[in-house]
């Protein structure tokens, strides 16, 4: 008996079914999501990533930050993300609709960064942390990114962007030199500061689920 048609049909239906489940259903549920215009402040959310920050996203991709950091806050009851202060609410599809490449990540050696711009809004903190994580976060196992800075001789006026005075003694260059972030360093920090999903979309008002019983204290924090 010739089984070829049967094998062909089985493969066809298996592929059609997975395409429907993985592509079509998601396209129907999320594909039509549009930015939400807020009449109170005249802005459409999620906000566009400003130019410098958009360049910083490329640096983030290039340096592989995604290998240690995720960008998605899990809902209450599915982990301790909210109790850890990684977000005020869980991430929803709306948060990502303006992004051509979504950097959800799969590994969390370090904290989730989806809201780092809301939780740590100080440029200097980020520069010191990138220069050497030990300065701000002793014991950190994040590698230093000193190549995002340039040590150079001060010629004329010192740069307003120089950070050496904020560094601990042992990192300071000799007199007459300054440490300034490179363009990549600057845009990376702009990108980090742009990461904040605090806008309350209609669907985020009801996204909290009852915490699982073992989540105990995390639930109370809400």
Nearest distance in Å: CB 39, ligand HEC: 33
Closest CB to ligand HEC among residues 96, 127:
127
The contacts of residue 112 (CB under 8 Å, 6+ apart) are 69, 70, 71, 72, 73, 81, 86, 87
Q: How far apart are CA 112 and CA 188, in angstroms?
A: 16
Nearest distance in Å: CB 47, ligand HEC: 19
Closest CB to ligand HEC among residues 36, 58:
58
Closest CB to ligand HEC among residues 187, 201:
187
Closest CB to ligand HEC among residues 74, 119:
119
Binding residues for ligand HEC, per CB under 6 A?
Answer: 60, 63-65, 67-69, 109-111, 113, 116, 119-120, 133, 137, 140-143, 145, 188, 192
Nearest distance in Å: CB 133, ligand HEC: 4
Q: How far apart are CA 120 and CA 129, in angstroms?
A: 11
What is the torsional sign of CA 196, 197, 200, 205?
negative
Cis amide linkage into residue 119, ω under 30° from 0: no
Please check whether residue 218 is in contact with residue 82, taking contact to mean a CB–CB distance below 8 angstroms: yes
Nearest distance in Å: CB 78, ligand HEC: 19
């Amino acid at each position: 008996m010739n089984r070829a048609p049967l094998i062909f049909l089985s493969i066809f239906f298996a592929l059609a079914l997975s395409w429907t489940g993985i592509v079509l259903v998601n396209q129907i549920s999320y594909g039509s999501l549009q930015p939400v215009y807020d009449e109170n402040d005249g802005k459409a959310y999620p906000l566009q990533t400003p130019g410098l920050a958009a360049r910083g996203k490329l640096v983030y991709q290039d340096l592989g930050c995604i290998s240690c950091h995720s960008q998605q806050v899990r809902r209450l009851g599915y982990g301790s993300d909210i109790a850890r202060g990684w977000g005020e609410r869980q991430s929803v599809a709306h948060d990502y609709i303006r992004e051509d490449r979504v950097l959800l990540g799969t590994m969390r050696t370090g904290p989730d960064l989806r809201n780092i711009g809301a939780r740590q809004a100080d440029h200097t903190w980020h520069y010191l942390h990138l220069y050497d994580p030990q300065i701000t976060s002793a014991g950190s196992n994040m590698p230093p990114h000193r190549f995002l800075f340039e040590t150079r001789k001060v010629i004329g006026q010192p740069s307003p962007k120089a950070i050496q005075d904020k560094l601990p003694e042992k990192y300071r260059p000799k007199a007459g030199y300054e440490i300034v972030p490179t363009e990549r360093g600057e845009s990376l920090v702009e990108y980090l500061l742009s990461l904040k999903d605090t806008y309350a979309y209609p669907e985020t008002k009801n996204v909290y689920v009852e915490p699982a019983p073992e989540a105990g204290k995390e639930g109370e924090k809400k």
